[in-house]
Each structure stands twice: as structure tokens, then as C-alpha cells.
Structure 1
């Protein structure tokens, strides 16, 4: 039987992806008194996550008015699902995140506990700003960017679409990082980085190019 969730209230959310990342998104939403009606995932072994029903995608129809979040950490997969399902996406901001009223946060984006987004920063759609990550003033993050825990971006940093910045990495002010780039854990970025690069170390150095996603 198809699950047609056409009775949702404004505060009820559907999540896609029953993973560890999804658990954090559930916690954020519940901290904001939101209701997660269902989690959509194709793993037959997962039927319940944190007490919430997990529904196979074949048994689900997303209605146009329903709000959802793609709760998957992989940037490329998150993009693929967004492009496939469309929908009315919802942003999740933990109550203990600090977000300037002069910043902009795109739909589908998730901010975890202790994350900081400072004045005039722009965070695109379907991004992940993980635990205690810092996005300083005038930074620009394009869509599908993932900042891991304890990442620090100084003022005016620009990060291209789909880039993943590893745990504890640091980026000095005014740096531009290209799209679909991977910045390794603990890297220190002191010069611009091109598209599709893989960068590690202190100072950061390019060790290979992914060519594409």
C-alpha cells in the first residue's frame, strides 16, 4: 500500500536517508518541536530509526505540499535525490547554533549544534554545517557544500558547489575553493583551490584531481 502523507501539518517533516546523519537531523528537528512523520530509505534491514517508521521509496508518494530534508551526508547523492524528487524543502537549525540575522541560509540546509554563521555569510541550498563549524562574515557557500565538525572558515571565503571540507580543516580569509573539491581532515588552506581537487596537509597541497563527480 502506498503511503500518501497528504495530511501533514506545517511542522511535520519527511526525511530521506536512514543513516547516522539522519539521526542528527531527527534530533535537531525534535529540538525545534517538529514532527518527523516518516523516513524514506531503500535499505530493507532498517524499519525503525529513533522510533520513526522507515518507508521504502516504492511505497511512498511525495505530495507537492509536503516539506522534506535529504538527510544524507554524501553531497553527490544528496544532489541526485533533490533533482529526482523536487519538493518543498525545509531547513533545520539546531537551537544551539548561532546564526546572524544578516546571514542567508538556503532551503534543505542543516546546521548542527554549536555551528556559527556570522554576519553577511551566505549558505546555499542543501548544505551541511556540522557540529561546531564556523562560517565567518562574508563567506559564500554554494549548494551541497558539507563542512565537517570543527571546520573554521575565516572571513570572505568562497566554497564551490558540492565541496566537502574535512573535520578540523581551516581556511584563511579571502580564499576561493572550487566546486566538488575534497579538503582533507585537518588541512590548512592558505591559497585558492581549483575545481575537483583533493587537498591534504598543512599547508594544504593538491594530491590529485577527481576530474568530475
Structure 2
């Protein structure tokens, strides 16, 4: 079965972590990474930087699936703006879930959300679009996490 292609936005540490999850999930083929123009043709974890943010209209014609791999430590605005730009260009932002995570079948995850290894998302939890559920965090039953949030490594949110 041929894997669908996906393009990643952002080439830093979070990108490298998400690449590991995508490779382990084995659902997508990473077509390339979008980063700053000075990084063009550089390799990040073996994947080429193929474009910069200015190329979104062209990329949206060539690819269907995109994922934001810009981290969220200091400022959430770049992720938020990029999400809006991709959605307005009719791009698909799938949910990426590590096979080492547990997500209840009764939980809901918004588009563009990544679930890193050893995360627990329990029954009735609702996770908004464009979220990072970082390694080993726990989202308990009936918890609501809104749009564009980063639940940091090891955090516990009770229901």
C-alpha cells in the first residue's frame, strides 16, 4: 500500500521529534520540510528542506497533507498564524499519534494535533486543533483542551 505524502513546517528540535513519530506511525511518507530560505536543500533527520513559507500556495497545489512542526515553548503565534494560512489554502492537517501513546476511542482530537510517545488521553477528552501533547503527559477523562495548546512533557490534567 502506497503511503500518502506529508510536508512538515519547521525544522527544529520539535520537527525531529515529530519525524520519529511519523516514521513509527508508518502512515505517511515525508515529502520534505518547509523552513527558512537559508535552509533550502539542507537535510533534517534525512529529509530535505524543499521550500519556505512563501511557497504555501504552490505546495498546496502539489500536496494534500501538511503538519506544523514548529515548537511551542516561547510563543504560540507562529503556529497559530501558520495553521490559519494552511487551512485557508485548503490543506489537510491530519492528527499524528505515536503508536506508543494511548488515545481512548471516546476522545476527540482536532486536526493538526500531535500525540507524542507515552501520552494518555482518556475517555471523553476533547483536544482542539493544532495542539502538541508532549511526551508522557496525561489528559484525563472529560478534559477539554482548546485550540493551539502545548501540554508539556509529563504534565497531568485531571478530569
Using the size of structure 1 for normalisation, the TM-score is 0.65
Q: 1:55 aligns with which of 50, 56, 59?
A: 50
Task: State the match for 1:140 in structure 2.
Answer: 144
Which digits, 9 at most, give the CA deviation of each residue in 1:67-112, with x for residues without a partner? Answer: 1111111222111111123211111100010000000011100000
How far, CA to CA, are the matches of 1:59 and 1:130 in structure 2?
A: 29
How far, CA to CA, are the matches of 1:115 and 1:91 in structure 2?
A: 14
Q: 1:105 aligns with which of 105, 109, 113?
A: 109
Range 109-118 or range 35-44, more displaced: 35-44
How far, CA to CA, are the matches of 2:148 and 2:96 in structure 1?
A: 15
Structure showing greater relative contact order (alpha-carbon pairs closer than 8 Å, 6 or more residues apart): 2
State whether residues 44 and 56 of structure 1, in contact with CA within 8 Å, keep that contact through their aligned partners in structure 2: no
Which digits, 9 at most, give the CA deviation of each residue in 1:20-50, with x for residues without a partner? Answer: 0001111111101121001000151461101
Q: Which has the larger radius of gyration?
A: 1
Q: Secondary structure in 1 aligned to 2:38?
A: coil
Q: 1:36 aligns with which of 15, 30, 43?
A: 30
How far, CA to CA, are the matches of 2:39 and 2:111 in structure 1?
A: 30
How many residues are treated as equivalent by the alignment? 147
Q: Does 2:20 correspond to 1:19?
A: no
Q: Which runs of 4+ in 1 moved over 3 A?
A: none
How far, CA to CA, are the matches of 1:135 and 1:19 in structure 2?
A: 26
How far, CA to CA, are the matches of 2:66 and 2:125 in structure 1?
A: 24
After superposition, the CA RMSD in angstroms is 1.7
Task: State the match for 2:95 in structure 1.
Answer: 91
Task: State the match for 2:65 in structure 1.
Answer: 67
Using the size of structure 2 for normalisation, the TM-score is 0.86
How far, CA to CA, are the matches of 2:84 and 2:127 in structure 1?
A: 19
Which stretches in structure 2 are left out of the alignment for 5+ residues? none
Q: Give the drift of 1:59.
A: 5.2
Greater percentage in helix? 2
